[in-house]
């Protein structure tokens, strides 16, 4: 009787382990459903074209998220005298024109797409990188836009697929190829 119970327990944990790998979710997250809290979150800050900060709880700094599958240029460096503010102290964004440097255009696009947006995150096999950023695929709640692919499609980042995170590799490659074919952004050179 004891060995049957032990065998059933082993089979149960083996099935949880395999199911986690089948869906490219870390086993702990799959078993305990910790990813549920990422089904509808708000982007508090856009740090760069490929890095965002989620809204934190009760005034705390939110979690840093790095978008999987792309490598974006550094965000523009702003000097204090370059920043214009309105009467409330908020930064007034400068208009983007063809003479605007590409890293500024990429950052402005990411901000317009993500800042304050409600998003859903999906994870892959490797959930955190060596810099302790959480790695994720980001989807806008309002229209299910796949943000990682959209940034690549607009030519605002380079393709950077790093196994084992290959869940959406085909979609990301297709978006990158479209940008190259149309010579958009970074792919225009």
Q: For residue 107, what is the DSSP state?
A: H
For residue 27 the two structure tokens come to 């086993």
pLDDT of residue 35: 77
pLDDT of residue 97: 64
Tens of pLDDT, residue by residue, the chain (189 residues): 556 666 666 666 555 554 444 444 455 554 445 678 999 999 999 999 999 999 988 777 899 999 999 999 888 776 555 667 778 766 666 666 666 788 999 999 999 999 999 999 999 999 999 999 999 999 999 999 999 999 999 999 999 999 999 999 999 999 999 999 999 999 986
Residue 45 CA to residue 3 CA, distance in Å, equals: 54
pTM to 2 decimal places: 0.75
pLDDT of residue 91: 63
What sign does the dihedral 149-153-157-161 (CA atoms) show? positive
Residue 164, preceding bond cis, omega within 30 degrees? yes
pLDDT of residue 82: 63
Query: Do residues 41 and 51 touch, judged by C-beta distance below 8 A?
Result: no
Residue 152 CA to residue 133 CA, distance in Å, equals: 20
């Amino acid at each position: 009787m004891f060995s049957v119970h032990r065998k059933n327990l082993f089979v149960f944990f083996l099935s949880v382990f395999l199911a986690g790998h089948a869906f490219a979710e870390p086993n702990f997250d799959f078993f305990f459903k910790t990813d549920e809290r990422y089904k509808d979150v708000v982007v508090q800050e856009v740090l760069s074209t490929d890095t965002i900060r989620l809204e934190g709880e009760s005034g705390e700094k939110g979690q840093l998220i790095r978008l999987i599958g792309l490598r974006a240029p550094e965000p523009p460096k702003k000097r204090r005298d370059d920043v214009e503010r309105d009467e409330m102290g908020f930064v007034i964004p400068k208009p983007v024109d063809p003479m605007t440097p590409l890293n500024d255009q990429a950052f402005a696009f990411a901000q317009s797409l993500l800042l304050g947006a409600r998003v859903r995150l999906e994870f892959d096999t490797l959930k955190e990188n060596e810099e302790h950023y959480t790695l994720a695929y980001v989807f806008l709640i309002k229209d299910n836009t796949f943000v990682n692919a959209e940034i690549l499609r607009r030519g605002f980042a380079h393709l950077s697929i790093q196994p084992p995170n290959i869940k959406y590799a085909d979609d990301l490659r297709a978006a990158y190829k479209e940008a190259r074919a149309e010579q958009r952004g970074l792919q225009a050179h």
